[in-house]
Amino acid sequence: MAYEVSDFEKEVFERSYAIPVLVDFWADWCGPCKVLGPMLERLAGQSDGRWTLGKVNTEEHVEVARKYNIQSIPNVKLFIDGVVVNEFVGALPEYQVQRWLETAIPSKHRRQIEQAEAFLVAGNPGPARVLLELTLSIPCCTFRCGDFRAWPNFPPQRGGCYGDHRTRGFAPVRLRHV
């Protein structure tokens, strides 16, 4: 599969509104890039469509590298909704990259959770509760605790996934009485 980016605006920026895009900034002369690049390609192939990979050669895309302040390579940035939300620099061991991906890549349920939070902010707890209960009814193996990492005391005591996920005790204060 070809991961090389030719049109950054379209293949990274615009695409990141539909799916998280992991961008590997690299160059031919960079030894660590030659180690990290194939590893990222392999992990992208195993991602089950949760994220996609784009590779940007900093020698060919100097303006893009300058825009994103690439001073050392390899440099990996995660784009979601057109914004860099996480990054790392250097060739990490595969287990560290996998751990980083587990925490950095949001759940596919992120949009439902954001929508529920918008209902709460607008003062509509009923639709928020329904949406969150539907989201929490998803089988444990597809639910990611990272969705709720900033919400104390969530999920509610009934329903939801408690398995090995660290969701217990995470929810916004305003959800406690929903």
CATH number at residue 20: 3.40.30.10
Per-residue pLDDT of the chain (178 residues; tens, 9 = 90+): 589 999 999 999 999 999 999 999 999 999 999 999 999 999 999 998 899 999 999 999 999 999 999 999 999 999 999 999 999 999 999 999 999 998 888 877 777 888 888 888 999 888 888 888 887 775 543 444 444 444 444 444 444 443 433 333 334 433 433 4
pTM of the model: 0.67
- Same domain for 87 and 115, yes or no, is no
At a CB cut-off of 8 Å and minimum separation 6, what does 157 contact?
none
Domain membership flag for residue 2: no
Location of structure tokens 């751990």: 99
- Same domain for 118 and 166, yes or no, is yes
Which pLDDT score is estimated for 169?
A: 36
- Candidates 30, 140, 141, 161; catalytic one: 30
Domain end among 85, 104, 123: 104
Which pLDDT score is estimated for 1?
A: 56
10 Å Cβ neighbour count for 6? 11
- Same domain for 77 and 122, yes or no, is no
Cα end-to-end span (Å), the chain:
47
**Parent domain of 97:** 8-104
Which pLDDT score is estimated for 138?
A: 59
- Same domain for 147 and 83, yes or no, is no
Number of structural domains (the chain) is: 2
Domain end among 104, 130, 158: 104
- Candidates 33, 140, 145, 161; catalytic one: 33
Domain membership flag for residue 3: no
Domain membership flag for residue 97: yes
Q: What is the DSSP letter of 4?
A: B
In residues, how long is the chain?
Answer: 178
30 flagged as catalytic = yes
- Same domain for 61 and 139, yes or no, is no
Domain membership flag for residue 44: yes
- Same domain for 130 and 94, yes or no, is no
